[in-house]
Structures are given as structure tokens and as C-alpha cells.
Amino acid sequence: MTSLNSQFEHIRQSATIALADRVIGLRAQGRKIIGLQTGDPDFATPAAIVDVALRAIQDGDTHYGPSRGTLELRRAVAAKIAVSDGVQYDPEREILVTHGSIHAYYCAVQSILNPGDEVLIPDPSWATHANMVKMLRGNVVRVPAPAENGFVPPLEAWERALTPRTRAIVVNWPSNPTGVIAPREYLIELARFALQHDLWVLSDEVYQSLVYDDAEPTCIGSLPGLRDHAILLNSLSKTYAMTGWRVGYLAAPERVIDNALKASQNSITCVTPFIQKAAAFALTDAGVREDVEEMRQAYARRRELVLRLAREHGPSPVKISAPHGAFYFFMDMRALGLSSLEICESLLDEASVGLVPGSAFGTQGEGFVRMTIAASEADIEAGFKAILAWADKTANNEKGVVG
């Protein structure tokens, strides 16, 4: 039989997408499902952004564009990073426009990794962080970030994971799936670790604008000495409700961008020019900034809704803590004694609620499930109440209580 790429034997399909596909299938069968599994904002893209894209299409901005991205957008990205992160990047040499943040991550990993090189990735973390490294023939070393340590890897865990083949580490704060933000003091120590061992730091900053309770994420590239070791990845998907537009960017030293450009040219050619026009507008328009803040405040209200419902419900097998950022609750359901997958399958079958098993994000996520608040308040309230009721019933059944 003709062989296939053996590397893909080590890669699982996205659990998030698989759950979303199953929810779509059940809805097609007529089932009413509350979908709390996907990190896709339920808001429409701000109308002003859409208008800019439509005008650009009408103006004929529909052909190939510069493979690095339009200079207008690269300048907007550089200005945004200077303001939000306090790091200066040359828009002509150190910014690459990408087809979303996954493509940015792909180009970055392609740029720095040789086959067999190792990348240290926290566990739990978004599955693509590990899968992409495996796809590109690198080796993943998971660094435990247990719940008991606030889902942040102890500094000594990074040291224990280090080998002579280690080339990079991945950080993602605010985190998907946990919503955790690492303290600045911790990041200063982590930056020293990276510098001491001459490591690249891939920083996934997709959720950096979605924070609560006056939390202030620290861009690791802004820390002393790390600017030339940091590779910043971001997109407009979550912050601007532009998931379907597929536009992101990479900011890094020139030699990284030169390699990443080759990866981009040979995978997508360029990002759609009229989308870049809209993206540049999104990053620079004051009115859009107000729209973004309104969305963030809506997520904050939904976060408080879940916390209030949990308080009102009282003792439960479902344990939650307030996320510092992003738009997920990573719920601790270990008390039920079931696997994350069993929990999610039962909730879908018995309570008609779609969630993502925590085990999809790593072994430290076992017993947890991820619930999005990028959904309507009505769905969040109904879905979370259904989760609590199902958990109570399941726990009572385990104890032999009939009722």
C-alpha cells in the first residue's frame, strides 16, 4: 500500500473542531444543542470594518498583494505593538502579515526549527501549539502546569525539561484554555531562563486584549534583553470578532521574518488585500476601539454571570475560578471520577450542552472541561445551569442516591 506521511500518526485532530462538528451534526438532526465549545465570538464584526472591506473590493483591491503584507497594515501592527506591548518593530523588516495566528505560528516554527529540535510547551495549552511542532518534525516536551500551581509551570519545571536539543519555549497568557495570566515577576525569571540557554520564546498573544479586573498582561518581548529572542504571534480574530477573516501577524527579529516570509510565500502567497485594508482600519480607528471595549465588557458581564450562578447554586462537583483573561472557564470536574471525554460526551448526550474535554489540552487538563463565554447570555445561563444539574445528578448516582 502506498505510504503516507508518518508524522501525522502522532497528531490528533482538533478536539474543539471535532466537538463543533458533532454539535452541527446533532443540530442537523433536529436536536437543540447549547454550543459552549467553540472560541468564536458571537458578535458581528464591527460594521465600520466591514464597510472598509466592501469599499476596497469595489475599488478593485482584489488581486495579489505584497507577500509581507501591505505596508499600511504592517505600520498599523507596529504602532499597535509599540502602544500595547512597549516594543518597537520596524514595519518594513520585522513584521509579517499572516493568514491568522495559526499561520503565524506555522511560519515562526518553520523559521526557527530543525528536525529533531525540541520545543518546551506548557501542559495544558492549546493543542495546535504541540501539533504544529510535531507536523514540522520537531519534538514536543510538555512542561507540567498543574491546577495546584495555578496552571503556570513552576520555574524549576522548565529547567527539568531542558535538554541540549531545546531550541524554543511557547508561552500563551492569557491562556487558552485556562484564562490564566502569568505574573510579571514570574515572566522576568522565565526571560532570564530563556536568555541563559539561548532559547527562542514564541509568545501567543491572541487574547491579550481580553482581560478582566484590571489585569495587565506582560508582553515577554518587552522584558530586558529578550526583544531579540521573542517572536510575537497575534491575530484580529478574537479581539475584533473577525475569526472568519483569517488575518494575523508575526513580529520578530529580521532574520526570523526573512525565513518566515519564505514559509508564507510557499504556503499562501499573500493575505487577501481587501482584508488587509479592513485590518489596518480595525487597528487604528477610534470608533472600532470603542466597539472592542464594548465586547470586552460584555464578556466581563458574562464572566460575572457564571460566577454568580455558581455562588447561587452552592456546593457542587463543578469547581470554577474566575479567569483573568480570554473567554473561557476551565471547570474542575475531577470530583465526578470520570474522564474529561466521558464528561463531555455525557453532557452532550444527556444535557444537550457542547463543551471541550480538558484532556485535549494536555494531561494536566484531565478531569477539567472548557466552557466558552463567547456565546449569548441566555445560552451561557441555560448551559451552565444544565451542567450543574447534570453534575449533581451524576454525583448522586455515583453515591447510590435516588431522587
pLDDT of 168-202, one tens digit each? 999 999 999 999 999 999 999 999 999 999 999 99
**Portions of the chain given CATH number 3.90.1150.10:** 6-44+288-393
Cis peptide before 124 (omega within 30 of 0): yes
Measured between alpha carbons, how far apart are the two ends of the chain, in Å?
56
Q: Which residue has the cell 518546551?
A: 120
Query: May I ask the CATH architecture of the domain 6-44+288-393?
Result: Alpha-Beta Complex (3.90)
What cell numbers appear for 319 in the block? Answer: 469547581
What cell numbers appear for 296 in the block? Answer: 470586552
Q: What are phi and psi of 95, to 5 degrees?
A: -130, 135
Contact indicator for 233, 101 with CB cutoff of 8 Å: yes
Q: Which residue has the higher pLDDT, 214 or 386?
A: 386
- Angle subtended at Cα 170 by Cα 164 and Cα 176, rounded to the nearest 5 degrees: 150
Q: Output the pTM of the full model.
A: 0.95
- Looking at every residue in the chain, the average pLDDT score rounds to 95
3-45, pLDDT tens digit by residue? 888 888 777 776 667 777 888 888 899 999 999 998 999 999 9
Angle of helix 286-313 relative to helix 377-399, nearest 10 degrees, comes to 30
pLDDT given at position 135: 95
Q: How does residue 403 score in pLDDT terms, banded at 50, 70 and 90?
A: very low
What cell numbers appear for 322 in the block? Answer: 474566575
- Angle subtended at Cα 352 by Cα 297 and Cα 211, rounded to the nearest 5 degrees: 20
Query: May I ask the CATH architecture of the domain 63-285?
Result: 3-Layer(aba) Sandwich (3.40)
Burial class (CB in 10 A: 0-12, 13-18, 19+), 302: buried
Tell me how far apart the alpha carbons of residues 172 and 205 are, in angstroms, rounded to a whole number. Answer: 6
What cell numbers appear for 104 in the block? Answer: 503565524
Q: Is the pLDDT of residue 149 over 90?
A: yes
Instruction: Please give the helix or strand (H or E) that residue 167 lies within, else none.
Output: strand 166-171
Q: How does residue 400 score in pLDDT terms, banded at 50, 70 and 90?
A: low
Tell me how far apart the alpha carbons of residues 238 and 373 are, in angstroms, rounded to a whole number. Answer: 12
**Portions of the chain given CATH number 3.40.640.10:** 63-285
CA nearest to 302, candidates 380, 237, 356: 380
pLDDT given at position 158: 98
322-342, pLDDT tens digit by residue? 999 999 999 999 999 999 999
What lies within 8 Å, CB to CB, of 254 at 6+ separation is 90, 93, 94
Tell me how far apart the alpha carbons of residues 397 and 309 are, in angstroms, rounded to a whole number. Answer: 23
Burial class (CB in 10 A: 0-12, 13-18, 19+), 65: buried
- What does the DSSP 8-state code read for residue 211? B
Tell me how far apart the alpha carbons of residues 162 and 34 are, in angstroms, rounded to a whole number. Answer: 42
219-267, pLDDT tens digit by residue? 999 999 999 999 999 999 999 999 999 999 999 999 999 999 999 999 9
